[in-house]
Amino acid sequence: AAPQLDRPAIDAALERTRAADSALRAQVERSVVDFATTLTPDERAKFVDGLRRSGNWRLPPKLQKRQGP
């Protein structure tokens, strides 16, 4: 470890990481919406239900029950 902590360098590295994470998330979200535009209304409903139940977009269990099957 370095003898002194370089706070500005750490803060800058964390900011770069947050920016990269945000950019990637935006890209993934755009791709999901682009895909959803190719689906029929019934397929979109099933797709949304799947997103609510699993993966990064899942709803907490309490909210899943309120949303219905």
Q: Is residue 7 part of a domain?
A: no
| Strand, coil or helix: 38 | coil
What is the span of the domain harbouring residue 62?
A: 14-67
Q: Is residue 40 part of a domain?
A: yes
Higher-scoring residue by pLDDT: 36, 63? 36
Please give the pLDDT value at position 2: 75
pLDDT tens per residue, range 2-60? 789 999 999 999 999 999 999 999 999 999 999 999 999 999 999 998 888 887 777 77
Q: Is residue 9 part of a domain?
A: no
Answer for the pair 44, 36: CB distance below 8 angstroms, yes or no: yes
Single pTM value for the model? 0.65
Beta strands in the chain (DSSP E): none
Q: Is residue 3 part of a domain?
A: no
Q: How confident is the model at residue 67 (pLDDT cuts 50, 70, 90)?
A: low
Instruction: Annotate 23-41 with DSSP letters as a single string.
Output: HHHHHHHHHHHHHHTTS-H
Higher-scoring residue by pLDDT: 62, 41? 41
Q: How far apart are CA 45 and CA 37, in angstroms?
A: 12
